[in-house]
Structures are given as C-alpha cells and as structure tokens.
Chain A
C-alpha cells in the first residue's frame, strides 16, 4: 500500500494534548477495557439453522427476497430470480467461488460480464447498463440481514451498486450472529498485520430513502430490488 503524507500532525496533536491536560507526547495510549459488552449476548447459543431463521425473518424488514437452496439447485434459483426481476444482462465479481459453485458456465451462456480488475472503464460501463449484479457474501450477519463484502481485487465496488437489481449468494458457512463477529474478524486481521480490504461494504437490502416526507422509498442510488440466496452446502 503506498504511504500517504501527513500534514500539520504535530501542531494538531500538541494543541489537543494541551487542551486535555498536558499528556506527554511519548506516553502510549491505553485503551480502556470495557466492563460490559451486551453486543456479545445477542443471539447467544443460536446454531446456524436458527441463525438462518433469524436472517429469513429479518429479510422481511429490509425488503429483501430470501431463498434457500442446495448447490445443485443454485443455477435454477438464480435463473428464476432473474426472471422475477426481468433481468437479462448480468455483471458478477471476479471471484473463484463462481467456479466452485458451478455457476460460471450458466453465466457464460447469458449476456454477462465478469468484473475485470484491470479494465475500469469497460467494467463500470457494463455494470452501469447491467440489469443485475451478483456477488458472494463474505460474512453474513443474521441479526440485521446484512451481507459483508470485502471489496478488493476482482470484487468490484460497482457490481453490488450500479445495477437496479442485486443478488447476494450466501454460503451457509458465512452466517454469523451480528456485526460484532464481522468486526472481530477484521480486528484480528489488523492485529495480525494483514492488509484489510480497501473497501468493506456492509449491505442490508436494497437502497432506500425517507427524505421525502419521511415516506420510505425503496431504491434510490443503489439497487431497487435485492435477493439473498442461502446455499446449504457451501
């Protein structure tokens, strides 16, 4: 990762140190240890099946269509969602899970585009006119009905953003309780000195807005319709 420049750092920090009572510049910051963490009790003891039920119910609150299928039926499920959303052109991320799940062949037969990490213009241009975008979920949060995409390399930020419809394929193994488990994972990456994805998206259903008279409008800048497909044997 190229290093950035920091401008005015010392004067900025000196000012703050003085204001909060002259803390020495070389004194390491001690993070307090929190005495209560109620977030860790949410859905405590739930197994994966129970979490899937939570996820399914939450999908109703977030205007998202929920499907559950075995790997063998995944292609036909995708097909029927595409039909339901009247979608013909597909953009999907460059992710080897598409091969593993045996859906690359199906996608090659329709008007589709695999995100090209080396060709920004072509990728964005296709995503902009595609009817539907498809990605895999990296971590799935049952409580809020959220798919977490660690967008780097061939994932493409635009795949889940520009088309009017969106499908997230959710391997059952990615389902966790809530945001806490996802932030724990990312925190562990940081502690281990690994680079984290340059753009991490927590996506909860289609885009929406309540800016007009507090009326909920589903579909503003991002997708207007969204579907989650949980795959049992992935």
Chain B
C-alpha cells in the first residue's frame, strides 16, 4: 500500500523495470491497465468474477470459467513463474519490531513469503509509523489486525524477517534493504491528528462506513478510502487536493466504534471541517456571508423575534403545498438537493404558550 502511496511502480517502470504485483487482487488490477484499488484489504472488490475472467482472457489468453477457484489457480501458475525468475522482491511492512530489527508481513495468499524467499535481493518499504517496541507488542497488534480485517484469529501467514539470509541458509535474499517512508507522516506528529498514525490498516472502518458502501472506493480519489482515508489523505497531501473528503461522512460514528486502535475518526473529520472553514477559510464566500448573518441573527433576541415572525410570510411566494422546492438565495443550495418545509405560521414559542392555554381549557372540559 505504501508503495502505491509513493507511486513506486510508475517510477520503476520509467527506468525500464518490469514490475509485477503478486497479491491476487493487485495482480488483477495491474493487468487491467492499472485500474486503481478500491479497498485497502481487498483491492479488486469493485470487480466481479466475470470481469476478472475477461481481464485474464484478454491479457493472458485465459480460457476457463469464471469460477474463483479456476481463476486463482491460473494466477498461481502465472505468478509462480514470476516469483522464480524475478531479480528483486519488494514488500511492504505491516509491523516492524524495534528490539530485534525484525519486520512482519501479514498475508493469506503467501505472496509475501514468495517474495522474501526466492529473489536474491529484497527491498522492504515501510511507513515510519508501523513500528512496535518488541515482540510482546507485535502479538497484540497482529492479533488486532487479523481479527479486525478478516475475522481470523491469525491469517495463514505471518512472516517475521530479520535481515538477509545467513550463510548457512539456502533460500532467502542475499541482500536486504529497508526503506522507511515519511512522506508527510512526521507533519502529523504533535498535532490534534496524531492518533491517525495509530492506524493498522485493517479496513474495519471502511467496511462499516455507509458513505463508502454507497460511493465505493474510487470516489475518494485517494489510495486510502473510507473514514481513515478521509482523515489521512488531506494530512499526507493537503487540503488543496482533498478538502472534500472530510465531508464524505454522515458522522454516524460507526467507524470510531469499530476501530480496533480507537482512533476517534469521526471527531477527526469534524476537526478537519473546522480547520477548513475557520483556519483556512476555504468555504465559499456566499457560505461565509450566510454564516455571518446567521450568527448575528442568533445573537440578538430582537432580530430573532422579528425574523421568525417574518419567515412564514416571506417564504409564502416560494412555497407550493407547504414545501419550498426552489428556494431563494442561500436556501437554493439546500433546495437544489431536497425540498424544504415552509415555516409554520405559528412559531414554536407561540405554539408552546398557546399549548399551555389549550391544555388548561382541555382540563376544564
């Protein structure tokens, strides 16, 4: 994932390398002319098996059915050749262990094992926040990750590597390089968003997000979709590129509830919105003017009284059957998407007063 974040494949291809993705999902996407991923655990989630069959057929001459077993077996055979002939293996890193200089790869398919067993040189690219103090803590984060991501007690393979192979070993890389990537992460340290760096990329928040479930991963325009993507993308990049993402949430808080490392995701989204509006003044001029007016109105008892008296009268010309469908001025933004109920003739305060009176009358009757 971090290799996508830094566009590593493109850079390698530019200097003439042939780059093969080995995760089944990523492999499918790469074959399909670099279709971007839509989910951080199941990258090809947006494709159905017929589409995958067609991609395999078109690009590799696959002739069998769309059965997942047959598709996977075909990919196994194709990728096996690649593993055996590659000069260089590149992996990400789920967690690094400080006390022994080890790092752990968590997979189900076994591709990370292949990449770290067969090529003679290995490069591991690690986001700088993926580090735990010792093995005791590795136990905790791995257990959290596998349960939250796929509901397994442990995934099929958790591989902990500590440097290159030793002299008395036959397989494993002879040369090993670790690249620790900052790419905007240190900017987040010491800010109100620091907790976002605790993320273990389990995708639980993504799976429960009602917005993600409607719009899908591609709509976010970032390799990190869903609630964590909406928090992280503007931090790693900037608001110029991603100022819409913090608004891609209903703030229902389902993400915060499931997050295994308790990142207050929806609260961080509100913090983003506050920064975008108050500190960065990125909201539109008309929104700012409207909000200033609203502020004045709400701060003055007299203005409020007059305004609420006037509202039913002023809104009458715009209303059809008690609904405003084409509102004037700032209301237009609202009625563009949905109808606005016409203000009642009797204000709440009047209704409340009258209700007491009516209630007394009722009691007498």
Which residues on A are within 8 Å of B, measured CB to CB? 1-2, 4, 12, 15-16, 19-21, 29, 31, 39, 58, 62, 115-120, 123-124, 128, 141, 143-146, 151-154, 156-158, 161, 179-180, 182-184, 186-187, 190, 196-215, 217, 219-223
B111, A123: Cβ atoms closer than 8 Å = no
If A19-B189, A184-B135, A187-B135 touch, whether A203 touches B157 (CB-CB below 8 Å) is yes
Chain A residue, CB-CB nearest to B26: A211
* Shortest Cβ distance from residue A132 to the other chain B in the assembled complex, whole angstroms: 16
Assembly CA distance A115 to B135 (angstroms): 29
* Shortest Cβ distance from residue A20 to the other chain B in the assembled complex, whole angstroms: 5
Assembly CA distance A116 to B171 (angstroms): 10
Assembly CA distance A135 to B159 (angstroms): 16
B135, A209: Cβ atoms closer than 8 Å = no
From A20, A144, A183, A206, residue with most partner B Cβ within 10 Å: A183
B154-189: CB near A (< 8 Å → 1, else 0) gives: 111111111111101111100010001010001101
Contact of B116 with A by CB under 8 A: yes
If A115-B170, A212-B71, A221-B111 touch, whether A207 touches B163 (CB-CB below 8 Å) is no
Assembly CA distance A143 to B146 (angstroms): 13
Interface pairs (5), CB distance under 8 Å: A152-B166, A157-B171, A187-B135, A190-B100, A211-B42
If A158-B117, A208-B108 touch, whether A183 touches B157 (CB-CB below 8 Å) is no
Q: How many contacts A-B (CB < 8 Å)?
A: 214
Assembly CA distance A19 to B150 (angstroms): 34
A202, B158: Cβ atoms closer than 8 Å = yes
B160, A200: Cβ atoms closer than 8 Å = yes
Contact of B153 with A by CB under 8 A: yes
Assembly CA distance A153 to B166 (angstroms): 8
B117, A209: Cβ atoms closer than 8 Å = no
A117, B169: Cβ atoms closer than 8 Å = yes
Chain B residue, CB-CB nearest to A121: B170
- From the candidates B42, B158, B180, B190, name the one contacting A214 in the complex (CB within 8 A): B42
Assembly CA distance A199 to B23 (angstroms): 20
Assembly CA distance A32 to B180 (angstroms): 24
B166, A198: Cβ atoms closer than 8 Å = yes
Segment at the interface with A among B44-52, B257-265, B289-297: B44-52
Chain B residue contacts of A183, Cβ below 8 A: 135-136, 138-139
A39, B139: Cβ atoms closer than 8 Å = yes
* Shortest Cβ distance from residue B345 to the other chain A in the assembled complex, whole angstroms: 54
Assembly CA distance A19 to B176 (angstroms): 30
Contact of B328 with A by CB under 8 A: no
Assembly CA distance A155 to B68 (angstroms): 33
* Shortest Cβ distance from residue B199 to the other chain A in the assembled complex, whole angstroms: 18
If A16-B186, A202-B159, A222-B157 touch, whether A119 touches B75 (CB-CB below 8 Å) is no
